Structure 1
């Protein structure tokens, strides 16, 4: 049987079915290759995650309350630490209104609560928070409120509530 006779005998539905069969075989071969590539990429991603994950820190011995209090900065450093925090915001070009401070002391620990409204880009606010926490280990960020004036605005208004912890005199 000649090729023309074969094509004529199949007709267009037969040719469409034959083409679909050939495409299915090609897709099956590609699918197997894609599965192998996906498995290889997943293994590579697991390796990269394992490398990126920091080694587990050795568990530290429990710290007593007295040891923790002794490690806090003395109260005489309070004003300098506050000035460092405010200066850091200025150096990172964050526009701030007035800050509010409230000092409390209990059981040998003093806490200066600082409410600091700032305006800047989201990245600036993040950099500021990271730099401030890295600079002063006895500083904590207690609350943060973010608000964009408009959806298209590049700047955010942030209200940061910090606590400067120290040893009470």
Structure 2
């Protein structure tokens, strides 16, 4: 696997591409027991032009409670069918921005909030990445497996993908 560190615009493009492709990430927050993390699957609403990730969530969630203690957050994405992975660490900002709620509101979100867009529990979560790392396979899982096997047998180094830091 070759290393390709990406900066600013290229890093944001890679982030957007991977998050849009994978969609569901495991959002990890710190618990009051610092030895453990709280992780929940979350679907992103948007990755904006600056590389911020946006989510809708509830003020009654464990994630919200944890963010009151620490704004440090991680979001981990995994597409095991294609061996694509992304790890983002950042700072969380929580708001009740009505324009964002309107922008992101859809039928899927409606199922989580029984009082609709006016539900007082709705919160906007902005994750501003401070660091990221990706593993991006150049082909699908089967081709990768065959390249790894061929490399092991022949001793040749075959390019099976890229990994690197995202400097956003």
Instruction: Return the structure number with greater strand share.
Output: 2
Normalising by structure 1, we get a TM-score of 0.31
Structure with bigger gyration radius:
1
TM-score between both structures, scaled by the size of structure 2: 0.31
